[in-house]
Amino acid sequence: MKLGFSPEEEAFRDECASWLNDQMYGEFADIRGIYELTSKPGRRKEWEQQLAAHRWSCIGWPEQWGGRDATLAQQVIFAEEYARSGAPGRINHIGIELAGPTILAFGTEEQKARFLPDIAAGKTIWCQGYSEPGAGSDLANVRTKARQKDGAWVVEGQKIWTSLAHISDWIFVLARTEEGTKGPRGLTFLMMPMDQEGIEIRPIVQMNGDAEFNETFFTDATCPSDSIIGAPGEGWKIAMGLLAFERGVSTLGQQMGFRNELDCVIEAAKATGRAADPLIRQRIAKAEIGLRLMRYSALRMLSNTDHSAIEGAALTYKIQWATWRRDLGELAMDVQGLDGQVTEGEEYNWDVLTNLFLFSRADTIYGGTNQIQRNIIAERGLGLPREPRGDK
């Protein structure tokens, strides 16, 4: 068991930090410190391409596809230095962290050659079509249908909570391809170009006034026949494999964003004098402990190379960070007082702290609600009986 990094790894850290700082205090200073994914999409895409030009866009991927075959330690280091430099949220994180690894793991050689170089290069932005109005927590209940016609797949239906759909070039979709099937059987994993008549996007305005998510409608939309991953009917297996990638190294970068938010809360507490209140001090200490433990839980999860074991650290990670951030949002309001409930300007648009309070109510819902997380932990982690279905 070892926490420290080797001299070679520390040298790599210097290399990362130096390049990132050059960018963030130079050519890309205008997008430093932007963590939400909706503003300045043009510049953000240029940033993705700049990362790629210097082989920093997907360092964990094989060299053949634009990565560096980076070791786990190197990926940890890059994620930490990326966030420390104030580099912006990755608008292609779905392509880099979900679509790419899925194609790498389950795609054909032809598909790898067709899709991976453009993802690595920041040329194609991706979004994810999983949830539907009737398939939220019960994801396997998807009703979007795809049928084969004239050598292609024709897709009908609706997806929801499609973040970044409005700037994406490709979407991966879980659709029902076998009439009459229910649940996880009869689903197929399709990759579809967004730029077509059959796809319509409508933004969903959230409770914080922002619109990061969309509804995506498919009406006679087309998916080329060679753009499905795996065989028809294997969609659920692919989708579940993909969910496992969500627990990757990116969590460490996400934590650096949390670090920035907690620092804002601490600054506000000092400014308002609430930092002298013993109860607030206890809560800030708890927040600090929780955040630092996230790092060590993530390192435990990543250091565990025995992937056959369902590790407790991996199973509990989502509920841990989501609940932590929701608590931080409440603390953010308590340290601000009523000042946190008014904003300058004409728009319903909030600064970091109030936005954190409002947005963090989504954290305990998307990607599996806290309730579903507890079911998963109890059933897969503790071996307790599964919840009975009402439709069987």
Partner 1 sequence: MDFAFTDEQKMIADTAREFFRKHATSASTRKAMVDDGVDRPLWTSFCTELGLAGAVIPEEFGGAGLGMVELAIIAETAGSRVSAIPLLGQAMATGALMGGANDDQKQKWLGGIASGDTICAVASSEDASETDGKLTGTVTHVPHGAVADLLVVLGESRCWLVPLDGSGVTIERPVTMDQTRPLSTIVLDRAHCKPLGETHSAKDAAMRAGLIVLSAEALGGAQETLDRTVAYSQERVQFGRPIGSFQAYKHRLADMLVEIEQARSAVYWAACALDESDPTADFALYAAKSLCADTYFRCAGDMIQLHGGIGFTWEHDAHLFFKRARAVQSLLGTGEEYRERIAQIVLGDAA
Q: Which active-site residues does the annotation give?
A: 246
**Among candidate residues 367, 319, 359, 316, the one with its CA nearest the CA of residue 130:** 367
Query: How far apart are CB 14 and partner 1 at their closest, in Å?
Result: 16
The answer to whether 5 contacts partner 1 (rule: CB under 8 A) is yes
CB burial of residue 218 (10 Å; 0-12, 13-18, 19+)? buried
Binding mask 286-325 for partner 1 (x = CB under 8 A): x-xxx-xx--xx-xx-xxxx------xx-xx--xx-----
**Among candidate residues 34, 90, 39, the one with its CA nearest the CA of residue 212:** 39
Three-class DSSP category at 199: strand
Query: How far apart are CB 24 and partner 1 at their closest, in Å?
Result: 25
What is the size of the binding site for partner 1 (CB under 8 A)? 53
d(CA 385, CA 378) in angstroms, rounded, equals: 8
Token pair, residue 108, equals 């054909």
Residue closer to partner 1 (CB basis): 248 or 312: 312
Residue closer to partner 1 (CB basis): 305 or 344: 305
- The count of C-alpha atoms lying within 13 angstroms of the C-alpha of 62, restricted to the half-sphere facing its C-beta, is 11
Residue closer to partner 1 (CB basis): 20 or 287: 287
d(CA 304, CA 299) in angstroms, rounded, equals: 8
The answer to whether 200 contacts partner 1 (rule: CB under 8 A) is no
Residue closer to partner 1 (CB basis): 71 or 111: 71
The answer to whether 8 contacts partner 1 (rule: CB under 8 A) is no
Q: How many CB atoms lie within 10 A of CB 385?
A: 7
Query: How far apart are CB 295 and partner 1 at their closest, in Å?
Result: 8
- The count of C-alpha atoms lying within 13 angstroms of the C-alpha of 30, restricted to the half-sphere facing its C-beta, is 9
Residue closer to partner 1 (CB basis): 209 or 273: 273
Residue closer to partner 1 (CB basis): 159 or 283: 283
d(CA 205, CA 362) in angstroms, rounded, equals: 13
Query: How far apart are CB 338 and partner 1 at their closest, in Å?
Result: 21
Contact by Cβ (8 Å): 328, 261: yes
Residue closer to partner 1 (CB basis): 205 or 285: 285
Query: How far apart are CB 282 and partner 1 at their closest, in Å?
Result: 5
Under rule CB under 8 A, which residues in 217-276 are in contact with partner 1? 266, 269-270, 273, 275-276
The answer to whether 125 contacts partner 1 (rule: CB under 8 A) is no
Identified binder of partner 1 from the candidate list 76, 174, 223, 256, rule CB under 8 A: 76
Contact by Cβ (8 Å): 88, 33: yes
d(CA 378, CA 30) in angstroms, rounded, equals: 46
Element (H, E) at 253: helix 250-272
Residue closer to partner 1 (CB basis): 11 or 113: 11
Under rule CB under 8 A, which residues in 360-389 are in contact with partner 1? 371, 373-375, 377-379, 381-385, 387
Residues whose CB is less than 8 angstroms from the CB of residue 289 and which lie 6 or more positions away in sequence, other chains included: none
* Alpha-carbon separation of residue 321 from 251, 349, 370 (angstroms): 10, 25, 11
d(CA 164, CA 126) in angstroms, rounded, equals: 8
Query: How far apart are CB 352 and partner 1 at their closest, in Å?
Result: 18
The answer to whether 51 contacts partner 1 (rule: CB under 8 A) is no
The answer to whether 282 contacts partner 1 (rule: CB under 8 A) is yes
Contact by Cβ (8 Å): 129, 171: yes
Query: How far apart are CB 65 and partner 1 at their closest, in Å?
Result: 25
Query: How far apart are CB 374 and partner 1 at their closest, in Å?
Result: 4
**Among candidate residues 172, 173, 158, the one with its CA nearest the CA of residue 214:** 158
312-331 burial: b if 16+ Cβ within 10 Å, else e = ebbbbbbbbbbbbbbebbeb
Contact footprint for partner 1 (CB under 8 A)? 1-5, 9, 72-73, 76, 266, 269-270, 273, 275-276, 278, 281-282, 284-286, 288-290, 292-293, 296-297, 299-300, 302-305, 312-313, 315-316, 319-320, 371, 373-375, 377-379, 381-385, 387
